[in-house]
Each structure stands twice: as structure tokens, then as C-alpha cells.
Amino acid sequence: MNKVNKSRVAVLIVAGSLLAYGGYWAGTRATVSGTGTSTRGTAPLTASPASNVDPATGKRVLYWHDPMVPGKRFDKPGKSPFMDMQLVPVYAEEGGEAAGVKISPSLQQNLGIRFATVRRAEQAASLELVGSTQFDESKAEVVQSRVAGFVDKLHVRAPQQQVKRGQAFASIYVPDWLAPQEEYLMLKRSGDTTLTAAARQRMRALSIPDSMVAAMDRTGRPQSHLSLSSPVSGVVTELAVREGAQVTPGMTIAKVIGMKTIWLLAEVPEAVIGSARPGMQVTATFGGDPQRTYQGKVREILPGVSTTTRTAQARLELDNKDGSLIPGMLMRVRLSAAKPESRLLVPSEAIIASGKRSIVFVADEKNSMRPVIVAPGREIGDETEILSGLSEGQRVVASGQFLIDSEANLKSILPKLVTDASMPPTDVSPSAPAPDAQPSPMPQMSMSPKTTDTKKPVQPSSPSHQGTGKVEQVTGEAITLSHGPIATLQWPAMTMDFKKPKPDSFKEIKVGQTVQFSFVESEDGYELKSVVAAAGGKP
């Protein structure tokens, strides 16, 4: 009996040992398996690409991000640590090396987005200028009297009257001519040829025209009136006499300017004075008949720059044989060099110019539009020369690019110009904020940050930001400031509340003061570190 009991006890001990070992082995396998799963869940997507396919869309996910803080990336979905919203996936099709803004064809049509092709063409350097027409002073002629007398008849009554070449201008009574003519007629009747010839020479010295002497020979009567005619076809710009006025030798009676050519004074910006040179070909148009063009050339660049407009004046000479151009007309002119050059051209409206750079959005066959920095050259009509940044045949956005520009800024594409998709996502949990996460560039929006752990201390590495603003309100909890742009956060000027470290902090600060302040990001907003009244910033 004792042997039987001992055998049973031994069997039970062995069975218990086996069960204990089996439980230990199973527990070890489960622990290892759970650890491996957890590791895979937090690893970057690049480590296991096959597991990052969105079951809803079938697309491969590169990473997740908060659209309001696009610079921070996460390796799995969840709730944003910055805003009370779900993280948004970024798919492989959207985040390649040439990442940009992707817009469907139907939406492109709704937004009025229009494309143009970068083209290369032989174009002469040109300038688009504006100017006004003036009389061509080089074509001016004067009507003068060579004798003393009186204006007996004036055929041109007022300035700005048009006259023809040879048209009678005025009739002058010359009493001093009567005596020499009477003497000449008397000597001619006497038959003394020698004295007659001497009398003829005397009349010529007194400026009596040969035509008048011939008329006197024909009629036998002295001629007392001198007829003055216009020396050129044009416009009378000056009229210095009236009927009955006395004239003297050398006195200018009128000024006439021909109209076969006309001057145009064009305003040349100081920055491009060197591009305008005498001899350049000119094509001009005016608003009254934009389809009609006038040809000419640059006569000279006048010395001097206006201190108010910072422009110099170019004197252009336009052909006006038909007389359709008159002084005072405002015209648009294009100055072109004689020799064309090969240039890369895009529509001028395709270029987004800022103070530091010029950007063009380039579109690919997948409807992705990425920003490219370009170096623009001269404007030639409605197009601009591209010195670098583009190549012939590329498609660029010609209209609607400002909508794309806004979207690119929101996605942080434009600040980086090209998204670096090869950078792995941050290996952090979406529920906890990243140590170096940048705050939203729009803190005044009505999306409150998520505070899952109110006892978590502020990260000591939080960067400090500085600004200048005006105190609008002071309470025990916060100070309301109307501040200027905060460059380190890419904030525009705005009015917002900043938390005080303690209720009794900054007691010397008053409403209306202009202050210089610094602050850091905390778990429940932005906390002031220093507030100092600016020089002269009295309330």
C-alpha cells in the first residue's frame, strides 16, 4: 500500500513539473511575440513597407501628419498631440521626391487653372515704355521780314493753324520801296541802259524780289506790297504779329513746324537706361487705334534723371507722313534691338515674385504641381525671359497659381521648395507631443490643443521666441498683446493672450505700453518669460 501511494505521489510530482514547464514555455513565447508586435507598431514605415497599405484606399502610406503642423511626421495613425483631430495619412503618390500640390483635372477646371509651355524663341531684346508725342523741333522753320514796313494783310489768323508749303502768309506794305522803283521806271523810259542796270542792282540790295521787278517791268507801275509765304507744310506754332503791326528787318513773324515726322518722349526707368540705345527700332501704338502701329527709331537719350519719377527721357522719332499723329498723344512703345537672340520664355503671369525669390509652379503628367525657383530676365511683351530654373517643353501654371501657392504654404512645400520624402517619420506615438514639435502658425484658431497629461512638465528644450507689441489688457492670468510678426514661428501680426507665470508677474506693465517680450510654448498655451517696456513706449 505504501508503495502504491509513493508511486502516485511521484507521478503527481512529475505531472506538476511538466505542467509548470509548459506554462513557462508558453508564457515566454507569448511575451516574445507581444514584444515583437509592439516593436513593429512603432517602427518607421520604411522598415516594413508591406504593412503600411491603407485598407480603405489600397494606397501605401508614407507617414501620418497634422495638417496644422505639417513639419512633424508620425509612424502610425491616431489623434494629433497638437490639435483635437485625427492625423492625416500622406500616401506614396503624394510624397515623392518631387512632391507638390496635387489637383484633379475637374478641380483645375473649376479653379480656372491654366497651363503654358516653356518655349524657346528668337527674340530681340525689347523695352515696353510709355511716352507722349511732341513737335519735331528739327523741322521748324521761321517766317521773317527783311524789310521795314507794316502788316497790311494777315492770311494766317491764329497759332496751331495748318498751312501748306508756298501758301500766302502775310502781305507787308513797304513804303521805302516806292522811290527806288519810280527811279528805275524813269531811267528805263529814258533809254539809258547803264543807269537802268545800276537802278536794278539798287533794288536788289533793298531786298526787292526779282519777281516784283519783273511785274513792274510788265505793268509799268511800282509794287509797294511784299507777300510772305510758308516755307514748309505744317502747323503754325507761333504768330508774333497782327494786321497793322509794324515790322523791322530780321523780325520773326511766325514759326512753322513740319509734321512728316514727330517726336515721342518716352519715360525710361533708371534701372534699364543702359538697355535703351540710339538707333533701336521703335514700334508705337495708341489707345485710339490699338490695331495701327507706327514705326520709328530712337534718336537720342536725353541727359538727366527725374528726381521724382527716377526716369530718364528717350527722344524717339516716328514716321508721320499721313499726319495722323499730333502732339500730346499718349502712346505705348516697344524698343527692340536689331539682332534677335535665342531666349527661354514663359508668360509673365506665371511668375510669382517675392522680395527674395521668384517662383514658378511646374506641372507633371500626374497633376502634381511643384514650386521651382527661377531667375527671370527681361520682359518681352507678355512674356518673361528665364535665365535658369526651367527647361524647354516643361508645363507651368499660368493662372490660378496663387491658389496653389496658398495650398503649398499650408503643406510646407513652398518653404522647403521640394519635400524631402526620404526623411523617415518621427518614431513617436501620436498621443504624445514630439520634443521639438513646432506650434501651429495660427494659434488664434478655435482648435484647442489636446492636454492628455496636465501634470507633464514643460520640456526644458522648448525654444524661446521674441516679439514687440502693444499691451491691450492685463489680468491676473494673462496679458493680451497686439504684436507684430514672430519670425521664428512664421506668425503674422495678430492680437492674442499670453499666459503669465504667476498672477503677480509683470506688475509694472500697463495697458497701452509698447513692450518687448519673450515667451515659450507650454502645455496649455504660450507662457511669457519676460516683458520689458520699450524705449518711449509710454501708455
Residue 168 pLDDT exceeds 70: yes
- The Cα–Cα gap between 433 and 81 comes to 5
Mean pLDDT, residues 45-72: 67
219-255 per-position pLDDT tens digit: 888 888 888 889 999 999 999 999 889 998 889 999 9
- The Cα–Cα gap between 339 and 84 comes to 64
Residue 45 pLDDT exceeds 80: no
> Per-residue confidence at 454, pLDDT binned at 50, 70, 90?
very low
**Residue 198 exposure: Cα atoms within 13 Å on the Cβ side:** 8
Place of cell 507521478: 11
State the sign of the Cα–Cα–Cα–Cα dihedral 216, 219, 223, 228: negative
274-330 per-position pLDDT tens digit: 888 888 889 999 888 888 899 999 999 999 998 898 999 999 999 998 888 999 999
Share of the chain above pLDDT 90, in %: 21
Which of the residue ranges 67-71, 212-216, 449-453 would you say has the lowest mean pLDDT? 449-453
Place of cell 494786321: 243
State the sign of the Cα–Cα–Cα–Cα dihedral 494, 495, 499, 504: positive
From residue 298, alpha-carbon distances to 129, 135, 138, 217, 282 in Å are 12, 15, 15, 53, 7
Single-letter amino acid, residue 484: G
484-527 per-position pLDDT tens digit: 888 888 788 888 889 998 888 898 999 999 999 999 988 777 88
> Per-residue confidence at 431, pLDDT binned at 50, 70, 90?
very low
Task: Work out the mean pLDDT of the chain and round it to a whole number.
Answer: 77
pLDDT of residue 294: 92
User: Which is more confident, 271 or 351?
Assistant: 351
pLDDT of residue 317: 93
User: Which is more confident, 538 or 198?
Assistant: 198
- The Cα–Cα gap between 313 and 90 comes to 57
Mean pLDDT, residues 418-443: 44
What does pTM read for this prediction?
Answer: 0.46
- The Cα–Cα gap between 237 and 140 comes to 9
> Per-residue confidence at 6, pLDDT binned at 50, 70, 90?
low
pLDDT of residue 187: 83
Residue 326 and residue 263 in contact, taking contact as beta carbons nearer than 8 Å: no
CB atoms within 10 A of CB 332: 15
- The Cα–Cα gap between 320 and 328 comes to 14
Residue 169 pLDDT exceeds 50: yes
308-323 per-position pLDDT tens digit: 989 999 999 999 988 8
Non-local (6+) Cβ contacts of 106 within 8 A are none
Element (H, E) at 148: none
What DSSP string describes 51-70?
G-B-TTT-PBEEEEEETTEE
- The Cα–Cα gap between 521 and 290 comes to 61
Q: Which three cell numbers stand for residue 442?
A: 495660427
